[in-house]
Amino acid sequence: MKRWRGIESDSVECSKTERRFLERRLLLKGALSVGALGLLTGCNITNQESVRKTLWTMSRWNDRIQAALFDPNRLAPTYPDSAITRPFPFNAFYDEDEAPVVEAEPYRLELSGLIRDRRPWSLRELNALPQTTQITRHVCVEGWSAIGKWSGVTFRTFLERVGADLNAKYVGFKCADDYYTSIDMATALHPQTQMTLRYDGQILPRSYGFPMKLRIPTKLGFKNPKHIMAIYVTNMYPGGYWEDKGYNWFAGL
């Protein structure tokens, strides 16, 4: 039985070929080293201005693609009570005990921008609006997901009630923890987009966004702002806390 001898050769005729083998092997090694070097300096590549600009341009392009892919009538799957993730994970850019403390009584939700009736709303008034409940999957930009149960006012109902310009492009949110974000109007009007006042049957806990958060099952978790203090409607791109740092703005699911 003949054993495989790799690149070795016992034939004199092949010596020239063999030398080429070695030259090419060195060339290949060189090419691979350049590739490895590129990988090792990955952060530096990303920091180059032209690369950075290209990546941001691609992210804006992906916003447009996602807006086109978004079907305003397609619902996020809903789950039974037994599927709820317990405990539901806390996630923010700070630790759980640093979550902002917002008092229920002096709280007034402020409205501004392209809204006809901009009078502030108390929690009592928000609770008096028709309430709905959803059990949906929350998908984090980090990759994990968890199923939770949120109750509150369908955001569309609220926007219609206050006379928001439903043809405007964006709805923006300002939060008690200095977080801010914004969404497209199509998503704001989606039937499952909810001004959440309760979690799993209880008044929305501080960790999960008391006194009010926006639950958007058709977007990644960071597009679901907590502790909302002000809502505004605008045609000027408002950006967001993570979006301005590089997360994709549309972030649709």
Partner 1 sequence: MSSMLPATPYAETAPLIKVHPLTVRITHWLNATAILIMVASGWRIYNASPLFDFKFPNNLTLGGWLAGALQWHFAAMWLLAINGVVYLAYGFFSGHYRRQLLPITLKSLLREIANTVRGRLSHAVGAYNPVQRTAYLGVIAMIMLVVLSGLVMWKPIQMQSLGVLLGGYEGARLVHFFTMTGIVVFVVIHVVMVMLVPRTFIPMWTGRVRNPGKRI
Interface with partner 1 (CB under 8 A): 1-7, 13-14, 17, 20-21, 24-25, 27-29, 32, 35, 39-40, 42-43, 45-47, 54-56, 58-59, 62, 69-71, 74-77, 137, 139-145, 217-218, 242, 245-248, 252-253
Q: How far apart are CB 59 and partner 1 at their closest, in Å?
A: 6
Distance between CA atoms of residues 134 and 196, nearest Å: 10
Nearer to partner 1, 88 or 107 (CB): 88
Q: How far apart are CB 83 and partner 1 at their closest, in Å?
A: 11
Q: What is the identity of the amino acid at 252?
A: G
Q: How far apart are CB 47 and partner 1 at their closest, in Å?
A: 7
Nearer to partner 1, 121 or 215 (CB): 215
Residues 152, 194: contact at Cβ < 8 Å? yes
Residue 150: beta bridge partners? Answer: 134, 199
Q: How far apart are CB 192 and partner 1 at their closest, in Å?
A: 10
Nearer to partner 1, 113 or 225 (CB): 225
CA distances from 129 to 39, 151, 162, 211 (A): 54, 12, 12, 15
Is residue 24 within a helix (H) or strand (E), and if so which, with residue range? helix 15-40
Distance between CA atoms of residues 17 and 71, nearest Å: 61
